[in-house]
Amino acid sequence: MAIGDTYNNQNQSLALPKVNILTMFRLGLFQMGLSMMSILTLGVLNRVMIQEIAIPATLVALVLALPSFVAPTRILFGQMSDSKPLLGYHRTAYVWVGAGIFAIAAFLAVQVMWQLNAASIGDRWTWTTQTIGWTAVLGLVFAVYGLAICASGTAFAALLVDISEEDNRSQVVGIVWSMLMVGIIVGAVISSSLLKQLTTDAPIETLQAAINRLFLIVPGIVFCLAIVATVGVEKKYSRFFNRSTPGNREDSITLSGAWKILTASPQTGLFFTFLLVMTISLFMQDPILEPYAGQVFKMPLAESTKLNVFYGTGILISYGITGFFIVPRLGKRRTIKLGCILVAFAALLLGFSGFSANPSVLKSTLVLFGLATGFVTTAAVSLMLDLTIAEAAGTFIGAWGLAQSISRGIATVIGGTVLDVGRRLLPDSLVLAYGLVFALEATGMLVSILFLNRVNVTEFKTNTKQALASVLESDLD
Tens place of pLDDT per residue across the chain (477 aa) = 334 444 444 444 456 778 788 888 898 899 999 888 888 887 788 777 877 777 777 788 788 878 877 877 887 887 787 777 788 777 888 999 999 999 999 999 999 888 887 777 656 667 778 878 888 898 899 999 999 998 998 888 888 877 877 666 667 777 887 787 788 778 878 887 777 766 666 677 778 888 888 899 999 999 999 999 988 888 877 766 665 544 444 444 555 655 566 666 677 778 888 888 898 998 888 878 888 888 888 888 778 777 877 887 888 788 778 877 888 888 888 888 999 999 999 999 999 999 998 999 999 999 999 999 888 888 887 787 677 665 566 666 666 666 776 787 788 888 888 888 888 888 778 899 999 999 999 999 999 999 988 887 777 667 666 665 665 555 444
DSSP characters over 409-451: HHHHHHHHHHHHHHHHH-TT-HHHHHHHHHHHHHHHHHHHHHH
Distances (CA, A) of 25 to 128, 236, 366, 398, 446: 49, 16, 25, 23, 33
Q: Cα–Cα distance between 352 and 339 in angstroms, integer?
A: 20
d(CA 238, CA 247): 19
Q: How many CA atoms lie within 13 A of 415 on its CB side?
A: 32
* Interior/surface letters 344-358, b for 16+ CB within 10 angstroms, e for the rest: bebbbbbbebbeeee
Instruction: List residues bridging with 86 in a β-sheet.
Output: 89
**310-325 b/e (C-beta count within 10 Å ≥ 16 → b):** bbbbbbbbbbbbbbee
pTM of the model as a whole: 0.66
Strand partners of residue 89? 86
What structural domains and CATH numbers belong to the chain? 20-476 (1.20.1250.20)
CA distances from 84 to 8, 15, 157, 315, 390 (A): 12, 25, 17, 36, 15
Contact 64, 213 (CB under 8 A): no
Q: What 3-state class would DSSP assign to 89?
A: strand
* Cβ atoms of residues 367 and 400 within 8 Å: no
